[in-house]
Amino acid sequence: MRKSVVPTARVAALKVLLQGSGREGFAQDLLDVALEDADLSSPDRRLATQLVYGTLRRRGAIDALLRQAIHRDPEKVEAWIWESLRLGVFQLLYLDQVPAYAAINETVELAQRLEMPRAKGFINGILRKVASWIAADRTDAPASNAVPLRDNQYRQLAEPRLPDPKRHPVDYLADAFSLPAWLAKRWLDRFGWDESVRLGFWFAEPAPIWLRVNTLKTDPDAMLGALSHAGVKAEPGRHPQSIRLLEPTPIRDLPGYADGMFVVQDESAMHLASALNPLPGTRVLDLCAAPGGKTTHLAELMKNEGEIIASDLDEFRLDLAMQSCERLGISIVSAHPMTPESTPPEGPFDGILVDVPCSNTGVLGRRAEARWRLKPSDIRRLVPQQTQLLTEACKRLKPGGLVVYSTCSIEPEENLAVVESVRKAFPEMRFDGEEASIPGKPSDGGYWARLRRK
């Protein structure tokens, strides 16, 4: 994309989607850079964010309609045109605040801004065709002419454009809820229709924003009071340090951000450091630390007394962890960058947290691009890596010490199966508890298990 293009919310969103389609990075990181480069107003920044994440989450349903509107293979359509059409259809289907004419006109205008006027007629024609299929009516039941919106509501289409959910339930789940077909089949076999639909609705919408109160500087009651005073609607969560925001709010504008009073972290992730619950003055290893949310939580629980070694392969995101420590007033963390050939820091440690790389199937709403990058073979590929990381942790644990193994996956092969496999190799490791978080009840999905060395 030309650097001379005047930045708008839709230009910024298109830039991120094009970069992400080339697997150049995570949507969140790409969006942060794009918004920093584009001098946008707060409303336009929010719109760009909504466009990026919404288009990624709903890509399957969008493409299902586009494939019927465009009589050529997607590979034969220029990437920027296809991504522009995705942006336009997302607005037509899901953004009630954007009138259809505005969604079409603003998307067509992208071609002019990119100095590609030859594509204006094509984009206009396709979007108008899709718009003619979309009805204003809503329904509460899945059907071949019903696109899932939110809260068990569906937008009706003027004619059937999706698979019949009764005759082809896997195909409907995949297209309507924008899931890879193999994952839709896997969940339908495991969970049944009703739970698969619930998961589809949960992952199609933005995940709620949770704050973890930094107990080194304040407490939840004081933080809730500060938010209320600033007019921000929030409520306490189940975890003692958690607060849930009830409406979208720019994080940096919240009271206490600059002073390190809180960090953004999903409530389910807060349970991981709490499961380890390290004591002040102990020596702790965070084996897969980046970008630092769990590392800083460990330090808070330790009252910033003792030693934490934060280790990770991603040096850039490990730097982000150290920046977070500085903002939160944490001084006991030291970074230990790794390479694929290096070994983890030497023990022994009193406690070790192993939040391993995983399939991300418990957080598909938060990591919007993950569902499109994940392949069936990835789970089989990840299990040996997960097993090796937990094995290395067990080798470095003091007698009586604890290790917590965790994922943000809801797939059994990555969770209890890995823990049981490692326990067979370490008979001195005693199973000491586990928890499986169910997506949407009330936050992200994931798993942790705690082992204690005799």
- Distance of alpha carbon 165 from alpha carbon 31, whole angstroms: 35
Read off the tokens for 1. Answer: 């994309």
Q: Which residues, listed in sequence order, are joined to residue 451 by a DSSP beta bridge? A: 403, 431
394 is catalytic: no
CA distance 347 to 393: 9
Residue (of 177, 168, 8, 142) closest to 87 by Cα position: 8
Strand pairing category for 333-337 and 307-312: parallel
The three-class DSSP label of residue 179 is: coil
Of the candidates 208, 194, 270, 293, the one whose C-alpha atom is nearest the C-alpha of residue 244 is 208
Measured in degrees and rounded to the nearest 5, phi and psi for residue 224 equal: -60, -40
Angstrom distance (rounded) from CA 15 to CA 1: 7
Query: Distance between CA 254 and CA 256 in Å, rounded?
Result: 6
Residue 10 to residues 7, 35, 47, 308, Cα–Cα distance (Å): 8, 11, 8, 42
For residues 135, 140, 141, 143, the Cα torsion angle rounded to the nearest 10 degrees is 10
Burial-class residue 115 by CB neighbours within 10 Å (0-12, 13-18, 19+): exposed
Beta strands in 305-383 (DSSP E): 307-312, 333-337, 349-355
User: What distance in Å separates the CA atoms of residue 151 and residue 402, rounded to the nearest whole number?
Assistant: 41
Would you state the structure tokens that stand for residue 15, as one six-digit string? Answer: 């830039």
Residues labelled catalytic? 408
